[in-house]
Amino acid sequence: MGTNNSRLQGFYQLNPFERLQMVKSFDGLVDEDLKALHGGHGVLTIERADKMIENVVGTYNLPLGIATNFQINGRDYLIPMVVEEPSIVAGASYAARMVRAGGGFEASTSEPLMIGQVQLVHVAAPNSARVDILAHKAEILRLANAQSRSLVTLGGGARDVEVHYFPSSPMGAMMVVHLIVDCRDAMGANAINSMCEAIAPLLEGLTGGKAYLRILSNLSDRRLARARCVVPVSALERDGLSGEEVAEGIMWAYAFAAVDPYRATTHNKGILNGVDPVIVATGNDWRAIEAGAHAYASRSGQYTSLSTWERDEEGNLVGTLEMPMAVGIVGGATKVHPAAQVSLKLLHVKTADELAGICACAGLASNLAAMRALATEGIQQGHMGLHARQIAMAAGAHGPLVDEIARRMVEERNIKPARAEELVAELHP
């Protein structure tokens, strides 16, 4: 075990190799793990990739960065983030530093309950069918649990049955049976889908109806992750602006997202900027997270912010985030992708709940970073340096000249492909 202090001063100024050594000393990873994080050829071998999806012809790399400064439930974390967009890792780390000044994040979760759905049509007597289904609950659960020994071994399994009825739809009335499944450390999609398929014939028998769809719901509103943070106003002070001025700006930014769906969508995208990269780094399903997040943001009937921000009696800024978080640490890509395995090792997570809480904290941190920037200097200033590096690379710069050309373009306030090409021609030997 290393220093276990995620406040890694000057981390961003090191080169990737030096950063890796620092990550190693934080956590005591072994050299083999570093290779999986460092990337290069062979991390995800073509043979392994070929077993993951169909028609494989190659693999596709993305940058893996480490967000620093995170303290969650009293423990320090280095958070692996896989993402293509500049400023996300820096923003999350910066926000985590501000939150650290207020004692760090608190994370918690609901039980890891997911919902599977079986659609039944042509049910002649829906009230009697409902009573029949509920009377056979034990049998339905037994049949469902016989499908997934592994989930039951983990301490999970099907827990409950609910019946919903839609008297009208474009095709007429339908009954929808919900199977509530405790997924423990699995994301659970495969187990739930197998369970739904297995119980469908029994439900057909009980209702006299016909089963069509048998699939999990991505609105995992019983598998929620929550994060909370307190930011002292003094920690918000920057660039000649008082902490109070910044706090006021952030509160107006939140108020905008709370009332306007056009703004709330972008605000929530800023939250997912923090969540998705951790989901990807750990081999989880980011489309499931995105689908669940936006549906949950609409649960009142109006799409709104997933986070809340308020001031406490001492004037501190207090942020909360609650959102569905269907993640697993066993099975699927989490087990197959070597970098996902090392990401989980780096996080030291022992349960899927813990990972879900970390994802929520990364989301809240990204939200805070975006609102702070938007309410003060604007988002572009921070973006420009990294954006300039991308333009320089696209123009053919490599090695130390990438930073040099980017620096010159930022200084000249002329970050354009044409200028980058001129500088490449001028500076590259």
Which residue in 97, 67, 68 sits closest to 82, CA to CA? 67
Given the rule CB under 6 A, which of 113-121, 146-154, 159-167, 265-273 is the region that contacts ligand MEV? 265-273
Query: In sequence order, what are the residues at sequence separation of 6 or more whose Cβ sits closer than 8 angstroms to the Cβ of residue 176?
Result: 117, 118, 119, 120, 163, 164, 165, 166
Does 250 engage in binding with ligand MEV (CB under 6 A)? no
**Residue number, 180 or 371, with CB nearest to ligand MEV:** 371
Question: Can you tell me the distance from the alpha carbon of 321 to that of 367, in angstroms, rounded to the nearest whole number?
Answer: 10
Which residue in this structure is represented by tokens 């008082």? 242
Does 267 engage in binding with ligand MEV (CB under 6 A)? yes
**Would you call 33 a catalytic residue per the annotation?**
no
Question: Per CB under 6 A, which of residues 55..114 are in contact with ligand MEV?
Answer: 85
Of the residues 24, 85, 221, 290, which is catalytic?
A: 85
CA distances from 136 to 163, 200, 336 (A): 12, 13, 39
CB of 99 to ligand MEV, least distance (A): 17
CB of 309 to ligand MEV, least distance (A): 12
CB of 76 to ligand MEV, least distance (A): 26
**Would you call 383 a catalytic residue per the annotation?**
yes
**Would you call 41 a catalytic residue per the annotation?**
no
Does 258 engage in binding with ligand MEV (CB under 6 A)? no
**How do beta strands 307-311 and 64-72 pair?**
unpaired
Which residue in 310, 296, 293 sits closest to 363, CA to CA? 293
Does 266 engage in binding with ligand MEV (CB under 6 A)? yes
Six-digit token string for 408: 């010159």
Question: Per CB under 6 A, which of residues 272..301 are in contact with ligand MEV?
Answer: 273
Which residue in 189, 201, 200 sits closest to 115, CA to CA? 189
CB atoms within 10 A of CB 413: 7
| Strand partners for 329 | none
Does 176 engage in binding with ligand MEV (CB under 6 A)? no
CB 328 within 8 A of CB 220: no
Question: Can you tell me the distance from the alpha carbon of 216 to that of 121, in angstroms, rounded to the nearest whole number?
Answer: 18
Residue type, 326: A
**Would you call 137 a catalytic residue per the annotation?**
no
Of the residues 38, 178, 269, 345, which is catalytic?
A: 269
Given the rule CB under 6 A, which of 103-111, 195-203, 264-272, 282-290 is the region that contacts ligand MEV? 264-272
Site mask, ligand MEV, residues 354-373, x = CB under 6 A?
Answer: ----------------x---
3-state secondary structure at position 159: strand
Six-digit token string for 17: 């190799």
Of the candidates 121, 215, 379, 386, which one interacts with ligand MEV according to CB under 6 A?
379
Return the residue nearest ligand MEV (CB atom): 270
Binding site for ligand MEV (CB under 6 A): 85, 266-267, 269-270, 273, 370, 374, 379
Active-site residue set: 85, 269, 285, 383
